[in-house]
Structure 1
Amino acid sequence: MEPASGRAEQLRLQIAKAEAELRGLRLQLSQLETGQEHAPRDQSLHNNIPQNPEIESPGKWPLQQQEYERYARQLVLPSVGIAGQLRLKSAAVLVVGAGGLGCPAAAYLAGAGVGVLGLVDGDIVEVSNLHRQTAHSHTKIGMNKVDSLAEYCTDLNPRVHCVRHATPLTPENAGEIVSKYHVVLDCTDHPTSRYLISDACVLLQKPLVSASALRTDGQLIVLNNPPAPQGSKDGGPCYRCVFPQPPPPDGVLSCGEGGILGPVVGVMGVLQALEAIKLVAAGPPAQPEAPAPSLLLFSAAGTSTFRSIRMRGRRPDCFACGTSSSLTLDALKSGMVDYVLFCGIRSPVRVLLPEERITAAAYNNMVAEKPGFAHVLLDVRDREHHAIGSIPGAVNVPFSMFQRTGMGGQDGTRPDWLPESLPPDAPIYVVCRVGNDSQLAARKLQEMRTGSEHRFIGDIQGGMEAWKREVDKSFPFI
């Protein structure tokens, strides 16, 4: 009589294969319901997936010999095993963003043996990416990021099929793209993208692994897990449940402005891959119930590297997944949800009059033509930016200081940074990175009545970016 353990293993394999077939049927149903059954060939997941003979025509063993060798170290894990590996092989995972988060996430998903790996990004590889986006290389500068990352993942594991979407994810194409995958990873770096991806995952009932990183900090959360219809209390919270309101536009910093340490974003991307692998390999629970959601915080500079914050479940009044939500795929595709307006993206600052601004070239010529010209050039960039490179003679007072007390200059008094030997009517020119903060700082100085009422207070239009373009092309602008 066959041992019970052997029979149990056979049943586990049969269940894994049945789950793979069921996923395929659900995928077909989802495509029919969302109108994707006539999708173009290059966008159709079924047309792009290579044949898996061990699933369609089972042989003696469920995996091929090379797969046993490649995945040996994870096959022996109780949390993966043969059944989990078959689930990974039959899964389609979407990585939105092929940058600092997407590179390590996609690499580890490919290494684990995910059957289909979708990559979404409309950007190209730039030299400033390379210190943290390690799947790209110097020889790929100017190449589409999805092509570069797909080549990297294919070199790592040729058994993984990479589907390339060389386009930004938009409200118009989000439903079509997301519908083809089982799990989605948000590896983007802007609030508009995060809300859009979450909304699409809610409407299509896909679990979402979301992460972000800036400077030396990162955060990670698994959303919409388990996925459930809008209004259902059985599903996990979405991004809007956790963050009902976007951050203020002035508080949104890009990596270019705030900086990022490469290993920090790498850690968060690896954790995203880990959560996705856990979701896929474990398979659906026998009795689905929403796990307690938590927000994982990472700090490379703090004394506590990792800490977890317990989060609430779905919000009944959530715009996307709540009981009264009117959000639909048609509304998403038609552009009825304006993510740019919702997030209040900051537009270029225009607070100074044209006569209160001077071009970088004009300022350079003026100083060159008037040796010893009495004036102040106030650089309001952060100290780190100023230390990398500055205009000779510039005085550095970070813009954040203008929001604090103790700057001096109130009611006509002299600020500490203003030289006492300077004539009261000597002009003040303000410069920043790209010409936004300098206008606000100049206006603040005007309101403080700094010096004589005849003193010129204005800024250098376009900031240090314009200085590099118009005056000194060797300037290390970042």
Structure 2
Amino acid sequence: MNSGETSSSQNGSNSSVPRDTSCPLTEEELDRYSRQMIVPGMGKEAQLRLLNAKVLIIGAGGLGCPAAQYLAGAGIGTIGLVDGDVVERSNLHRQVGHSTSRIGQPKVSSLMTHLKGLNPLPNYVAHECHITPLNAADLVAPYDLILDCTDNPATRYLISDVCVLLEKPLVSAASVQTSGQIIVLNCPPTPQGQLEGGPYPPCYRCCFKKPPPANAQLSCGEAGILGPVVGLMGVAQAGEAIKILASALHASPSKKGTPRHPVEPTLLLYSYSLTSFLSPFTFRALKMAPRKKNCFACGEGSQARLTLEGLKRGEPDYEFFCGGLGSGPGQGVLSAEERISPREFVETVQQHGKEEGKGKYVVLDTREKEHFSFGSIEGAVNVPFGKLLSKAAQMKRSGETPEVEDILPPEVKIEDSGGDENVPIYVVCRRGLDSQEAVEKLKEMGLDRGGKRKIVDIAGGMKAWKEQVDPSFPYL
């Protein structure tokens, strides 16, 4: 299925035709939704708003699965799902809308199967594709409310930008390792360039003017994730969505009769520690910055330069803005002489080193210790990427000229590598991204001795090592 195609599955009595507030609920609906309708502030009218609502969930993973389940259970009339990936075994500990029997299936169809079993009444719409600047507007336009359940900054900025242009409220969340965050943006939505009604609501760019540095953008695959943490954030997204839809705050204030009660945006943070079992989990609410008059997306008048036409022309370039592949430091900027494939490393370095005598080179593995503990290249020394960057910054401030020993763990001596002061250094990471930046940092530190010492990246990291050298390697 290409990026422009969708498929829908319509079930039960619900349809895309809006139901009047005077329309009686069916016996099944009364029975299914009774416990939430008797909650103060809900009632029949709010339930009918949910039955008439259309929600788009972008991402059918750790956030999207719990969010979709609770929205389906609540009786949202139409639920759209966007994802271009397939179910993998490593997803299942946290992406609870999938199952072992559906490994290899598209995530969208797998999650739809689960949701239909939970509640067959909503209209489920499948978008088996990734959201891009070319298809974003078409995907978002038919829906009342958007949930950003993706896992990278570039996509978050894109989704927020499209929601501004199309006047859609947005519930955005993120989670990695043992922490998560959630924020509601553009709610109720305000036309682009119009600041009437106060400084709120802002967009994602107003709250996060710049993305985090490329080397600080941790994915679940790189850093890991605990299922309950991301699940909690997804459930919170569903709760915010129900609150917005039940109170009709999802509609543009330009529509007659729509209440407008903008509130200050609050970023809810959740975290806990696995290393200190006595430490309690924490929730923190941070007040975020108000709407910026000079915001590129939603600013005042001509300050808002974002357009749908520009998006389709590649303006802005989200990957470049977020330091993505091919645009940031260490992202594909090394020359061919500074890189070596895993297969070539084995054939020309490892084997030659064994013939000439042990330890004629140093392998620096910049993965985190948890990754390193599952396996490594023979003789590799673990120097996590973050620690390497910290050491480089410390030495730059002090004006020191470091030696190889200064970046190695205390128990590792340069003599272990042959005693050659110009012994070459080979750097490897998980997928070949951090290692490139590490090569640059080592050279900035002067460890290449003006070109006398080779500092080389093992291209593609341990992922390529598994593909080219050792298929049994436990790549995580």
TM-score normalised by the shorter chain: which range applies?
0.7 to 0.9
Are residue 320 (structure 1) and residue 291 (structure 2) matched? no
In the alignment, the residues of structure 1 paired with residue 456 and residue 321 of structure 2 have an alpha-carbon distance, to the nearest angstrom, of 33
On the 8 A contact 2:11/2:121 being kept in 1, the answer is: no
Residue of structure 2 equivalent to 1:331: 310
Question: What is the Cα deviation at residue 264 of structure 1?
Answer: 0.9
Are residue 167 (structure 1) and residue 139 (structure 2) matched? no
Give, as a single letter, the amino acid of the residue that structure 2 aligns with 1:246: P
Question: What is the Cα deviation at residue 449 of structure 1?
Answer: 4.1
Do the aligned partners of residues 334 and 421 (structure 1) sit closer, same or farther apart at CA in structure 2, a change above 3 Å counting?
A: closer
Are residue 100 (structure 1) and residue 62 (structure 2) matched? yes
Give me the CA root mean square deviation: 3.2
Do the aligned partners of residues 99 and 360 (structure 1) sit closer, same or farther apart at CA in structure 2, a change above 3 Å counting?
A: farther
In the alignment, the residues of structure 2 paired with residue 57 and residue 229 of structure 1 have an alpha-carbon distance, to the nearest angstrom, of 27
- Aligned match for 2:467, one of 457, 469, 474: 469
Listed one character per residue, the Cα deviations across residues 245-275 of structure 1 (whole Å, up to 9, x for unaligned) are 2222222121111211111111100000000
Listed one character per residue, the Cα deviations across residues 20-51 of structure 1 (whole Å, up to 9, x for unaligned) are xxxxxxxxxxxxxxxxxxxx996799999954
Farther off after superposition, 104-113 or 346-355: 346-355
Residue of structure 1 equivalent to 2:287: 310
Give, as a single letter, the amino acid of the residue that structure 2 aligns with 1:164: A
Question: What is the Cα deviation at residue 437 of structure 1?
Answer: 3.3
Listed one character per residue, the Cα deviations across residues 148-197 of structure 1 (whole Å, up to 9, x for unaligned) are 11111111100011011111122222222212111111111112211111
Farther off after superposition, 407-416 or 105-114: 407-416
In the alignment, the residues of structure 2 paired with residue 444 and residue 181 of structure 1 have an alpha-carbon distance, to the nearest angstrom, of 46
Q: Could you say what secondary structure the match of 1:209 adopts?
A: strand
Do the aligned partners of residues 438 and 184 (structure 1) sit closer, same or farther apart at CA in structure 2, a change above 3 Å counting?
A: closer
Do the aligned partners of residues 326 and 357 (structure 1) sit closer, same or farther apart at CA in structure 2, a change above 3 Å counting?
A: closer
Q: Could you say what secondary structure the match of 1:388 adopts?
A: coil
**Number of equivalences:** 437
Question: What is the Cα deviation at residue 237 of structure 1?
Answer: 0.9
Are residue 361 (structure 1) and residue 346 (structure 2) matched? yes
Question: What is the Cα deviation at residue 366 of structure 1?
Answer: 3.9
Q: Give the structure-1-normalised TM-score.
A: 0.82
Farther off after superposition, 245-254 or 179-188: 245-254
Are residue 279 (structure 1) and residue 244 (structure 2) matched? yes
Are residue 290 (structure 1) and residue 262 (structure 2) matched? yes
Map 1:388-467 → 2, pairs under 5 A: 388-405=374-391, 410=401, 412=403, 414-415=405-406, 416=410, 417-420=412-415, 422-425=417-420, 426-442=423-439, 444-445=441-442, 447-449=445-447, 456-467=454-465
Radius of gyration: which is bigger? 1
Listed one character per residue, the Cα deviations across residues 398-446 of structure 1 (whole Å, up to 9, x for unaligned) are 2323223499993557444324454332544333223343344445555
Farther off after superposition, 396-405 or 100-109: 396-405
- Aligned match for 2:324, one of 335, 342, 345: 345
- Aligned match for 1:270, one of 211, 225, 235: 235
Consecutive unaligned residues of structure 2, counting only runs of 5 or more, are: 250-256, 274-278
Q: Could you say what secondary structure the match of 1:337 adopts?
A: coil
Farther off after superposition, 265-274 or 375-384: 375-384
Give, as a single letter, the amino acid of the residue that structure 1 aligns with 2:475: F
| Identical-pair percentage | 48
Residue of structure 2 equivalent to 1:240: 205
Q: Give the structure-2-normalised TM-score.
A: 0.82
Question: What is the Cα deviation at residue 139 of structure 1?
Answer: 1.8
Q: Flag the structure with higher helix content.
A: 1
Map 1:78-157 → 2, pairs under 5 A: 78-157=40-119
On the 8 A contact 1:225/1:290 being kept in 2, the answer is: yes
Do the aligned partners of residues 76 and 371 (structure 1) sit closer, same or farther apart at CA in structure 2, a change above 3 Å counting?
A: same
Residue of structure 2 equivalent to 1:36: none
Give, as a single letter, the amino acid of the residue that structure 2 aligns with 1:468: K
